[in-house]
Amino acid sequence: MSTLSPTMAGMSSLLAVLDAVDAQPMSVKLRARSYELLGDLTGRTVLDAGCGGGRAVAELAEHGARAVGVDLDPEMIAVARKRWPAGEFHVGDACELPLETKSASYYRADKVLHTLDDPARAVAEARRVLAPGGRAVLLGQDWDTIAIDSDEPEATRRLVHAKADSLPSPRVARRYRNLLLDAGFTDPVVEVHTAVFTDDTALAVLHRITDEQSWLAEQAERARTNRIFVAIPIFLVAAQG
Protein backbone atom coordinates (compact mmCIF):
# COMPACT_ATOMS: atom_id res chain seq x y z
CA MET A 1 0.00 0.00 0.00
CA SER A 2 1.32 3.46 -0.95
CA THR A 3 2.26 5.80 1.87
CA LEU A 4 2.09 8.85 -0.41
CA SER A 5 -0.60 11.45 0.20
CA PRO A 6 -2.92 12.16 -2.77
CA THR A 7 -1.10 15.46 -3.36
CA MET A 8 2.34 13.85 -3.29
CA ALA A 9 1.17 10.97 -5.46
CA GLY A 10 -0.25 13.44 -7.97
CA MET A 11 3.01 15.38 -8.09
CA SER A 12 4.99 12.16 -8.44
CA SER A 13 2.78 11.16 -11.37
CA LEU A 14 3.17 14.58 -12.98
CA LEU A 15 6.94 14.50 -12.52
CA ALA A 16 7.12 11.06 -14.11
CA VAL A 17 5.27 12.33 -17.19
CA LEU A 18 7.35 15.52 -17.34
CA ASP A 19 10.57 13.51 -17.04
CA ALA A 20 9.49 11.14 -19.82
CA VAL A 21 8.52 14.02 -22.09
CA ASP A 22 11.69 16.00 -21.26
CA ALA A 23 13.81 12.99 -22.21
CA GLN A 24 12.32 12.80 -25.71
CA PRO A 25 14.76 13.89 -28.45
CA MET A 26 12.34 16.61 -29.60
CA SER A 27 12.13 18.05 -26.08
CA VAL A 28 15.91 18.06 -25.74
CA LYS A 29 16.13 19.84 -29.10
CA LEU A 30 13.47 22.39 -28.12
CA ARG A 31 15.18 23.28 -24.86
CA ALA A 32 18.46 23.72 -26.69
CA ARG A 33 16.75 25.91 -29.29
CA SER A 34 15.21 28.07 -26.55
CA TYR A 35 18.65 28.63 -25.03
CA GLU A 36 20.04 29.49 -28.45
CA LEU A 37 17.31 32.08 -29.05
CA LEU A 38 18.11 33.77 -25.75
CA GLY A 39 21.69 34.48 -26.79
CA ASP A 40 25.08 34.29 -25.09
CA LEU A 41 24.41 32.78 -21.66
CA THR A 42 27.86 33.13 -20.12
CA GLY A 43 27.65 35.16 -16.92
CA ARG A 44 24.07 36.25 -17.64
CA THR A 45 21.18 36.00 -15.21
CA VAL A 46 18.44 33.85 -16.71
CA LEU A 47 15.06 33.49 -15.04
CA ASP A 48 13.20 30.24 -15.72
CA ALA A 49 9.59 30.88 -14.69
CA GLY A 50 7.57 27.81 -13.72
CA CYS A 51 10.77 25.78 -13.54
CA GLY A 52 9.10 22.60 -12.25
CA GLY A 53 11.68 19.93 -11.48
CA GLY A 54 14.52 22.25 -12.48
CA ARG A 55 16.08 20.49 -15.46
CA ALA A 56 16.30 23.66 -17.59
CA VAL A 57 17.88 25.58 -14.71
CA ALA A 58 20.60 22.95 -14.45
CA GLU A 59 21.18 22.98 -18.21
CA LEU A 60 21.34 26.78 -18.34
CA ALA A 61 23.89 26.74 -15.52
CA GLU A 62 25.96 24.23 -17.50
CA HIS A 63 26.01 26.82 -20.30
CA GLY A 64 27.58 29.34 -17.93
CA ALA A 65 24.49 31.27 -16.87
CA ARG A 66 23.41 32.29 -13.42
CA ALA A 67 20.14 30.41 -13.75
CA VAL A 68 17.30 31.17 -11.36
CA GLY A 69 14.29 28.87 -11.20
CA VAL A 70 10.93 30.07 -9.86
CA ASP A 71 7.87 27.91 -9.30
CA LEU A 72 4.67 28.45 -7.33
CA ASP A 73 4.64 24.87 -6.02
CA PRO A 74 6.86 24.46 -2.92
CA GLU A 75 6.99 20.69 -3.49
CA MET A 76 8.31 21.19 -7.02
CA ILE A 77 10.96 23.56 -5.72
CA ALA A 78 11.93 21.01 -3.06
CA VAL A 79 12.34 18.39 -5.79
CA ALA A 80 14.39 20.79 -7.92
CA ARG A 81 16.71 21.64 -5.03
CA LYS A 82 17.22 17.95 -4.29
CA ARG A 83 17.86 17.03 -7.92
CA TRP A 84 20.05 19.99 -8.76
CA PRO A 85 21.71 21.17 -5.51
CA ALA A 86 23.92 23.64 -7.37
CA GLY A 87 20.88 25.45 -8.80
CA GLU A 88 19.18 28.56 -7.47
CA PHE A 89 15.49 27.98 -6.84
CA HIS A 90 12.74 30.11 -5.29
CA VAL A 91 9.07 29.61 -4.53
CA GLY A 92 7.30 32.40 -6.35
CA ASP A 93 4.46 33.48 -8.62
CA ALA A 94 5.11 34.07 -12.34
CA CYS A 95 3.01 37.22 -11.98
CA GLU A 96 5.03 38.48 -8.98
CA LEU A 97 8.59 37.36 -9.58
CA PRO A 98 11.06 37.49 -6.67
CA LEU A 99 13.60 39.50 -8.69
CA GLU A 100 14.50 43.16 -8.73
CA THR A 101 13.43 45.33 -11.64
CA LYS A 102 15.82 45.13 -14.61
CA SER A 103 17.95 42.51 -12.84
CA ALA A 104 17.85 39.70 -15.44
CA SER A 105 19.31 39.39 -18.91
CA TYR A 106 16.94 36.70 -20.10
CA TYR A 107 13.52 35.25 -19.28
CA ARG A 108 12.21 31.84 -20.18
CA ALA A 109 8.78 30.24 -19.60
CA ASP A 110 8.20 26.67 -20.78
CA LYS A 111 4.75 25.05 -20.49
CA VAL A 112 3.68 27.71 -17.97
CA LEU A 113 1.34 30.37 -19.35
CA HIS A 114 -1.54 27.97 -20.01
CA THR A 115 -1.76 27.42 -16.23
CA LEU A 116 -2.33 31.13 -15.51
CA ASP A 117 -5.59 33.06 -15.37
CA ASP A 118 -3.83 36.19 -16.63
CA PRO A 119 -0.90 35.32 -18.93
CA ALA A 120 -0.56 38.97 -20.00
CA ARG A 121 0.30 39.90 -16.43
CA ALA A 122 3.09 37.30 -16.39
CA VAL A 123 4.54 38.63 -19.64
CA ALA A 124 4.41 42.18 -18.27
CA GLU A 125 6.25 40.90 -15.20
CA ALA A 126 8.88 39.36 -17.47
CA ARG A 127 9.32 42.76 -19.06
CA ARG A 128 9.75 44.32 -15.62
CA VAL A 129 12.60 42.08 -14.50
CA LEU A 130 14.51 42.24 -17.78
CA ALA A 131 17.33 44.70 -18.19
CA PRO A 132 17.35 46.87 -21.35
CA GLY A 133 18.17 44.68 -24.32
CA GLY A 134 17.07 41.53 -22.52
CA ARG A 135 15.25 38.73 -24.30
CA ALA A 136 12.30 36.52 -23.50
CA VAL A 137 11.41 33.08 -24.84
CA LEU A 138 8.00 31.47 -24.42
CA LEU A 139 7.36 27.80 -25.19
CA GLY A 140 4.27 25.68 -24.96
CA GLN A 141 1.44 23.90 -26.67
CA ASP A 142 -1.98 25.06 -27.72
CA TRP A 143 -4.21 22.54 -25.97
CA ASP A 144 -6.78 22.59 -28.76
CA THR A 145 -4.24 21.46 -31.36
CA ILE A 146 -3.36 17.90 -30.40
CA ALA A 147 -3.47 15.24 -33.13
CA ILE A 148 -4.35 11.75 -31.93
CA ASP A 149 -4.95 8.75 -34.17
CA SER A 150 -8.09 7.00 -32.99
CA ASP A 151 -10.96 4.87 -34.23
CA GLU A 152 -13.22 7.27 -32.33
CA PRO A 153 -12.55 10.72 -33.81
CA GLU A 154 -15.64 12.36 -32.33
CA ALA A 155 -14.84 11.14 -28.83
CA THR A 156 -11.25 12.20 -29.34
CA ARG A 157 -12.27 15.75 -30.30
CA ARG A 158 -14.60 15.90 -27.31
CA LEU A 159 -11.93 14.75 -24.87
CA VAL A 160 -9.26 17.09 -26.23
CA HIS A 161 -11.62 20.07 -26.05
CA ALA A 162 -12.78 19.07 -22.57
CA LYS A 163 -9.19 18.97 -21.35
CA ALA A 164 -8.49 22.33 -22.96
CA ASP A 165 -11.55 23.87 -21.37
CA SER A 166 -10.45 22.66 -17.93
CA LEU A 167 -7.30 24.81 -18.08
CA PRO A 168 -7.12 28.52 -17.24
CA SER A 169 -5.58 29.62 -20.58
CA PRO A 170 -5.50 26.60 -22.91
CA ARG A 171 -5.07 28.55 -26.18
CA VAL A 172 -2.48 31.06 -25.00
CA ALA A 173 0.35 29.63 -27.13
CA ARG A 174 -1.25 31.00 -30.29
CA ARG A 175 -1.17 34.39 -28.55
CA TYR A 176 2.51 34.36 -27.51
CA ARG A 177 3.60 36.75 -30.26
CA ASN A 178 0.85 39.27 -29.55
CA LEU A 179 1.32 39.05 -25.79
CA LEU A 180 4.98 39.93 -26.18
CA LEU A 181 4.21 42.80 -28.53
CA ASP A 182 1.51 44.13 -26.22
CA ALA A 183 4.01 44.11 -23.33
CA GLY A 184 6.48 46.23 -25.30
CA PHE A 185 8.76 43.54 -26.68
CA THR A 186 10.02 43.89 -30.26
CA ASP A 187 11.27 41.80 -33.18
CA PRO A 188 9.46 38.56 -32.31
CA VAL A 189 10.70 35.31 -33.82
CA VAL A 190 8.03 32.62 -34.15
CA GLU A 191 8.70 28.91 -34.61
CA VAL A 192 6.45 25.86 -34.47
CA HIS A 193 7.93 22.44 -33.74
CA THR A 194 5.96 19.20 -33.55
CA ALA A 195 6.51 16.67 -30.81
CA VAL A 196 5.58 13.18 -32.01
CA PHE A 197 4.99 10.29 -29.59
CA THR A 198 4.71 6.70 -30.79
CA ASP A 199 5.70 4.75 -27.68
CA ASP A 200 4.56 4.35 -24.08
CA THR A 201 5.21 8.04 -23.47
CA ALA A 202 2.23 8.73 -25.74
CA LEU A 203 0.01 6.70 -23.46
CA ALA A 204 1.31 8.59 -20.41
CA VAL A 205 0.53 11.89 -22.15
CA LEU A 206 -3.00 10.72 -22.97
CA HIS A 207 -3.60 9.77 -19.34
CA ARG A 208 -2.96 13.44 -18.51
CA ILE A 209 -5.76 14.37 -20.94
CA THR A 210 -8.50 12.01 -19.79
CA ASP A 211 -9.38 9.12 -17.52
CA GLU A 212 -12.16 7.82 -19.79
CA GLN A 213 -11.36 4.12 -19.66
CA SER A 214 -13.07 2.89 -22.83
CA TRP A 215 -11.23 5.45 -24.95
CA LEU A 216 -7.93 4.81 -23.19
CA ALA A 217 -8.36 1.07 -23.73
CA GLU A 218 -8.23 1.57 -27.48
CA GLN A 219 -5.09 3.69 -27.12
CA ALA A 220 -3.50 1.06 -24.85
CA GLU A 221 -4.13 -1.55 -27.52
CA ARG A 222 -2.57 0.76 -30.10
CA ALA A 223 0.48 1.10 -27.84
CA ARG A 224 0.67 -2.67 -27.44
CA THR A 225 0.63 -3.17 -31.24
CA ASN A 226 2.95 -0.23 -32.02
CA ARG A 227 0.11 1.80 -33.56
CA ILE A 228 -0.24 4.69 -31.10
CA PHE A 229 0.32 8.17 -32.53
CA VAL A 230 0.14 11.54 -30.78
CA ALA A 231 1.44 14.77 -32.33
CA ILE A 232 1.61 18.04 -30.40
CA PRO A 233 2.64 21.32 -32.07
CA ILE A 234 4.88 23.34 -29.76
CA PHE A 235 4.96 27.11 -30.22
CA LEU A 236 8.24 28.88 -29.52
CA VAL A 237 8.38 32.68 -29.61
CA ALA A 238 11.37 34.86 -28.72
CA ALA A 239 11.44 38.66 -28.57
CA GLN A 240 13.64 41.57 -27.57
CA GLY A 241 12.93 43.54 -24.42
> Is 89 a domain residue?
yes
The band of 14, judged by pLDDT with boundaries at 50, 70 and 90, is confident
> Is 199 a domain residue?
yes
DSSP the chain: -----HHHHHHHHHHHHHHHHHTSHHHHHHHHHHHHHH---TT-EEEEET-TTSHHHHHHHHTT-EEEEEES-HHHHHHHHHH-TTSEEEE-BTTB-SS-TT-EEEEEEES-GGG-S-HHHHHHHHHHHEEEEEEEEEEEE-TT--EE--S-HHHHHHHHHHHHHTSSSTTGGGGHHHHHHHTT-EEEEEEEEEEEE-SHHHHHHHHHH---HHHHHHHHHHHHTT---EEEEEEEEEEE-
Instruction: Give me the mean pLDDT over the 136-141 stretch.
Output: 97
Share above pLDDT 90 across residues of the chain, in percent, rounded to a whole number: 86
CATH of the domain at 117: 3.40.50.150
Q: Is the pLDDT of residue 201 over 80?
A: yes
Q: Is the pLDDT of residue 168 over 70?
A: yes
- Judge if pTM exceeds 0.95: no
The total domain count for the chain is 1
> Is 1 a domain residue?
no
Structural domain of residue 70, as residue ranges?
6-240
State pLDDT tens for residues 176-188: 999 999 999 999 9
> Is 39 a domain residue?
yes
Q: Is the pLDDT of residue 11 over 70?
A: no
Q: Is the pLDDT of residue 139 over 50?
A: yes
Instruction: Give me the mean pLDDT over the 60-73 stretch.
Output: 97
pLDDT at 52: 93
